[in-house]
Structure 1
Amino acid sequence: MQPKSILLIDDDLELTDLLTEYLSPQEYSIAVAHDGQSGLAMATSSNHFDLILLDVMLPVMDGFEVLKKLRQTHLTPVLMLTAKGDDFDRIFGLELGADDYLPKPFNPRELSARIKAIVRRIDNLANHTQMLSINSVELSLNPTNQSLQCNGQPVELTGTEFGVLQILMSHAGTLVSKQQLNEQVLGRKLAAFDRSIDMHVSNLRKKLAQYSDKEKIKTVRGSGYIFIESLL
């Protein structure tokens, strides 16, 4: 099996050495950049990366700016490395299109678990190319090429946003709990005060609102979400 390629963008030389040493034996190919500008250049080059680990505090160009520019052209999964306890960093990163976040300092085993969850989602998508499309009145979701159209217009989604919408549409008219979404999309149990899924749903709504004025995802406060548009 071809090793998954990871781009690590962090200016902490000791940490990048430690993570490279820790992750390489787990069949990951690690490339490293120590500032935001060079990291963005590597991320948008012809080299394909399966995942990007992106620190917030970077010289030359901070992680938020890197992510913002990256999302203009690339949907590569991004795991943000944020300051411990800084809710603003986490929420802002998710709003810009990060797939997940991990606060520093972290246990390398926790990082490995987060990486495996994202890689598992990528592999599951690749292994389910025969899954049928899901069509509603205005939406057409195609798991084969991870594409979405709203009223005939293509909608660019990150892998995480696609996973959330796929589950909601697959259970149209039925409440899907935040716990279920967290476990199936992010690969971990829902922790107290974790707003990751909320932010991904918020991003979905904003993107869909560009092509339709009809509400498609209803919030059941404290419980989860319901896809409310009828399927065809």
Structure 2
Amino acid sequence: MLVVEDEESIADVLAIALRYHRFEVMTAGTVREALILAERTLPHARTGSLGGTPIDAALLDVMLPDGDGRALGRELRARHPDLALVFLTARDAPAEIVGALGYGDDYITKPFDVDVVVARLTAVLRRTRPTDVLPQRPPLRYGDLELDETTYSVRRAGRTVELTPTEYALLRFLVRNGGRIVPKEQLLRHVWQYEHTPPESTVVETYISYLRRKLDALGPPVITTRRGVGYGLA
């Protein structure tokens, strides 16, 4: 996986999340750096020579200091036609989205949820590459809950639970913390990437109620509340 993003903090967050999901990640901040990495790792279309581990996908910022990420994507595709391309940009006009999709496989606007980026990259790879390139992770389990981190699916007592990406991210964080009560501020920081908690925010309470409604329909209440502190799993 090649991540090309000139904002170092964003590149670091993406790399950490992708490595957690067992992707091998290389990062670059410019078109020039990306092409140097591609020269070492992508097979040449004419010779087939390869300098390193092949890249299966590239996550490219559209606006880079020394060029256009879409043109970079076109150059990378010329060298490796099977490369999966996903673009990141702050531009969300329909014409921009249509234009970017003409160069690649998906288009994600900033600001974004890291879990959504990982899910959409995985979906693109599932469509464009053999299944053996997808990193496999064992399911997360807690009681009768089972979360598949490859397909982003959830089951309770063997029955599928349909969750939105944010609901999934919230439940996954609670599962990873087992029976521990997780403070609201920590949930806001890890699930919603809030650096500073808005004092009037009720987003956690809202999504906890969504999860309860879906999970409690399939069994006993599983989410507990510690008033004034946070939430956990029973």
Normalising by structure 2, we get a TM-score of 0.48
Higher relative contact order, chain-length normalized (CA < 8 Å, sep 6+): 1
Normalising by structure 1, we get a TM-score of 0.49
